Structure 1
Amino acid sequence: MTETPFPNTAAVHATARRAAFRPVLALLWSFVALSAAMVAFLAVLTAVGVGVDIAIWIRCSIVLASSVLLLVFGIGAARGSRNALLRLRIVAPIIVAAVIVIVAIPGFLPGWVRIEQAVCGLLVLPVAIIANLPRTRALVPAKA
């Protein structure tokens, strides 16, 4: 018996899903890298004797942890996990909203930290948008 000339639809669907999540994962990896670089920079500042406020340490550590969580959710969604996509769809907009609030509070953080936080928010904003598009949700199969 000969094989059909039609490709396996599950394989085609998985390939389309991976392609659709490629920009999401690139943005999330950038978010992790920027957040880790900021925490490393804070460690260097502290090591050379520059005083860094505890609020900056706490905020930047929370942002690093949230970046890693979002990356885990993004990887899971790219692999076809409906739960990971749901978590990504919920958490990404919350992070964007939190960044907007934190950056908008006058005098809470120094300007250089506010800029880093704003860039992090700008990296997560397209993730929140892409993850919540109907066509993205359609790429992740519903539970059987």
Structure 2
Amino acid sequence: MSPRRTHPADRSPHASLDHPRTRKAFRGAKLLVGSYAGLSLLTLVAIILLRKHHDIVTDAVRVRAGVVVATSLLMASFVTRAARGHSRSYLRLRLASGVMLVVIAAVIALPGAFPVWLKIEQGVCGVLLAGVVLIVNSKRVRSAFASR
């Protein structure tokens, strides 16, 4: 017996990626991820410009900035593809945004591991990613990918 396939007409019109509210949700997610990527890139530029100030730019800061820029660019790719209906990119976006939010919380909570300025920057990144996590895990967006 083959698995039951749902016909597009069987799906709720409100669950579609083409529904205006779903498109609006993805526009918001794209804006937040884009802001996260932009802030991450600006931070990397600041680190490069301040590289001679070893009290401000430590090895941990350099490594962290590189990881954040890489993940922000990956998330930009994921959100763009997910908005077009790519279910694996949607799953990757959900996972990456959630994991990075937890990691950011750890960076902020660790005493002495990172300078205060980076913790503040990471706090802003965390707020942006919290918005992404809320959007991509909303009932509306999840239902758009439920039958895919």
Query: Under TM normalisation by the shorter chain, which class is it?
Result: 0.7 to 0.9
Q: Residue deviations 1:26-45, cap 9 Å, x none?
A: 00000000000000000011
Counterparts in 2 of 1:108 and 1:73: CA distance versus 1, 3 Å:
same
Q: Residue deviations 1:56-85, cap 9 Å, x none?
A: 000111011111111111111111111111
TM-score by length of 1: 0.84
Counterparts in 2 of 1:37 and 1:90: CA distance versus 1, 3 Å:
same
Q: Which moved more, 1:28-37 or 1:15-24?
A: 15-24
Question: Given the alignment of the two structures, is residue 130 of structure 1 paired with residue 135 of structure 2, yes or no?
Answer: yes
Identical counterparts, % of pairs: 32
In 2, Cα distance between equivalents of 1:43 and 1:96: 25
Counterparts in 2 of 1:50 and 1:86: CA distance versus 1, 3 Å:
same
Tell me how large the CA RMSD over aligned residues is.
1.6
Point out where structure 2 has 5 or more consecutive residues left out of the alignment. Answer: 1-12
Aligned length: 131
Partner of 1:113: 118
Deviation at 1:91, TM superposition (A): 1.5
In 2, Cα distance between equivalents of 1:15 and 1:75: 17
In 2, Cα distance between equivalents of 1:40 and 1:77: 29
| Contact preservation (8 Å) 2:17, 2:83 | no
State the AA in 2 paired with 1:81.
Answer: H
Question: Given the alignment of the two structures, is residue 50 of structure 1 paired with residue 53 of structure 2, yes or no?
Answer: yes
Partner of 1:31: 36
Deviation at 1:13, TM superposition (A): 4.5
In 2, Cα distance between equivalents of 1:130 and 1:45: 35
